[in-house]
Amino acid sequence: MRPDTSSLPDASLTNLRSLLDTGWISARELTDSHLDRVAEADGPLNAYLRVTADLAREQADRADERLAAGESGPLLGIPMALKDVLSTKGVETTCGSEILRGYVPVYDATVYEKLRDAGAILLGKLNMDEFAMGSSTENSAFGPTANPWDVTTVPGGSSGGSSCAVAAREAVFTLGSDTGGSVRQPASFCGVVGLKPTYGRVSRFGLIAFASSLDQIGPFARTVADAAAVLGVIAGRDPRDSTSAPVEVSDYVGALTSDLEGVRVGVPREYFEVEGIEPGVERAVRGAVEQLRALGATLVDVSLPSTTYALSTYYIIAPAEASSNLSRYDGVKYGYRSAVEGDLVQTYMATRQYGFGPEVKRRIMLGTYTLSAGYYDAYYLKAQKVRTLIKDEFDRAFERCDVIATPTSPTVAFKLGERTADPLAMYLSDLFTIPASMAGIPGVSVPCGFSDGLPVGLQLLGRAFDEATPLRAAHAYEQSCDWYTRKPA
Amino acid sequence: MDETTRDSKPGGLTNEQVRHIAVLARLGLTEDEIEVLRVQLSTILAHVDQLTELDTEAIPPTAQVIALHDVTAPDVPTPSFDPEEMLANAPDREGSYFKVRSILGYET
């Protein structure tokens, strides 16, 4: 008997792989079932900014031809969606901003090229905080995305569309980008797996730039094995991104194990003794750490004393880089242009005044200020020095452990509108994800329970270019519990 | 260094400074936005001033975290984009040029 195709969106990538490879279902059927699911569920969620149904069906038919020819591959015939910060040739790409409304890229991001070559199918482009600046997806010019666990709460951000779509079964996997936590924090809020690879692991070519020394692309999926399979396809050196590293891409799926014998898990006290951490979050994460021990891991106390300074460091470095990167939006070559009377500078000023939203303006202003004459040493240079301290502390901690376990965020998903008036309160949501971003190391968020009925995430960090070990720990943990089988109503 | 920023202390901005930064950033702002940003930026700057607690005199700065330096690529010509394709997103054009307002003689 054929499976009821309406339940296909619930299946994991691993299960779908065998259904596709044995010819039990076609990529076209799988794609249609997802398009139906998006049409039915996305109205109140607003995860998708646009659905590329015709393109998806075309790509599905090509995938079916490849499957019929006996080809196989981890992502062949798998429907997915991309955060709207990733360039897709011929498909509007807005970055959640009014200034890029109607902008159609003339080239593809390397990650999309790799996914397409692997036979993955693009269902559409996903909502996000404007230019990836935010922690709730409320900063999108195209309306907020809701959290499928409770539509009165935020999905996290900035990749909130990407985390929501995976949690709501609107895609098998998605890609997001993580500058200070924008993959891990929304994964935590939506109860899915989110991986930020090492800086340099995945090519940033075609990723619209926010903070170039921090930005990294990463996958969302419902299981760790699924995320590992996606990383295997998108990772690797790319001549078009000179910061992508020539480091061998390992077999991430093959490295997953069910036990953690010989793995040393560092537990940094600074991540548990923080003001504002919710008791339910602390309880769930401490329980998960105990479970890692039960699986064979050795727990090690480690100290990362500069943790409390990481947020300040980030809010100097990221806006500084952003103010420079976003100077390209001048209304000359693409995007919105104001029709204001006057000369070119007046055109620039009016274009940017109308085209950018409040958070983007705030960060451009902050970055321009800290880089301005007389303040560079006090802010930007100082922050870069503290960045060295943060990185050195991780290096020292990793001499004594192989993985570091922390909460992904101090709280579960907060209410829509709750923090929009207070930028600092919003920034605090990224307290636990920012340090790893500053150090450039990989981190994965995996569901580890619920607090007040909303998902909690366990963050597992690894050494630079060793995504395999945190993925292994996350997988062993995930498979020993049943959190990953829960789904929103 | 600029007159409007030289004598101020980090943390408490004036509206005049906010206006000056906005011009540097080529960002038009309403008077209401200037007032809101003055308060919000001052709050954020007061928070990040905690970094002054750390003695970083002997610490080298980190600009990027991976050990790659002077990455070069072979100088191989490849086809470029078609001008029509590149101009398709232009807000305004004339022939195969991007068209803009006059550049010389502006005042800010």
Average confidence (pLDDT) over A144-151: 98
**Interface residue B68 vs chain A (CB under 8 A):** yes
Average confidence (pLDDT) over A153-166: 98
Average confidence (pLDDT) over B43-65: 93
pLDDT band for A127, please (50, 70, 90 cuts).
Answer: very high
Query: How many other C-beta atoms can be found within 10 angstroms of the C-beta atom of residue A453?
Result: 10
Which pLDDT value is given to residue A45? 98
Query: How many other C-beta atoms can be found within 10 angstroms of the C-beta atom of residue A265?
Result: 23
**Interface residue B86 vs chain A (CB under 8 A):** yes
Distance (Å, rounded) from C-alpha A329 to C-alpha A355? 9
**Interface residue B27 vs chain A (CB under 8 A):** yes
**Interface residue B47 vs chain A (CB under 8 A):** yes
| The token pair that represents B31 in the structure block | 């008077």
Which residue is it, tokens 């990027």? B64
Which residue, A406, A482, A417, A412, is CA-closest to A445? A406
Instruction: List the catalytic residue out of A182, A244, A306, A445.
Output: A182
- A409-438: pLDDT as tens digits: 999 999 999 999 888 888 889 999 999 999
pLDDT band for A276, please (50, 70, 90 cuts).
Answer: confident
Which pLDDT value is given to residue B2? 40
Distance (Å, rounded) from C-alpha A55 to C-alpha A122? 7
pLDDT band for B20, please (50, 70, 90 cuts).
Answer: very high
| The token pair that represents A384 in the structure block | 């870069």
Local structure of A183: helix, strand or coil: coil
Chain B residue with minimum CA distance to A243: B68
- Homologous superfamily (CATH) for A1-489: Amidase signature (AS) domain (3.90.1300.10)
The ipTM is 0.91
Question: Is A487 a catalytic site residue?
Answer: no
Residue A175 phi/psi, 5° resolution?
Answer: -115, 145
Task: Give the residue extent of every domain in chain A.
Answer: 1-489
Measured between alpha carbons, how far is residue A424 from residues A270, A312, A419 in Å? 20, 10, 9
Residues of chain A with C-beta less than 8 angstroms from the C-beta of B71: 242-243
- Structural domains for chain B: 3-53 (1.10.20)
Question: Is A114 a catalytic site residue?
Answer: no
**Interface residue A364 vs chain B (CB under 8 A):** yes
Local structure of A218: helix, strand or coil: strand
A207-221, A254-268, A467-481, B63-77, range with the lowest pLDDT: B63-77
Residues linked to residue A202 through DSSP beta bridges, in sequence order: A235
- A92-119: pLDDT as tens digits: 999 999 999 999 999 999 999 999 999 9
Alpha-carbon dihedral B80, B81, B84, B88, rounded to 10 degrees: -150
Backbone region of residue B70 per phi and psi (left: phi > 0; alpha: psi in -120 to 50; beta: other values): left
Question: Is A303 a catalytic site residue?
Answer: no
Which residue is it, tokens 């503290």? A386
Chain A, residues 245-264, CB within 8 A of chain B, namely 245
Which pLDDT value is given to residue B4? 41
Whether A361 sits inside 8 A of B6 (CB atoms) is: no
pLDDT at A388 over 50: yes
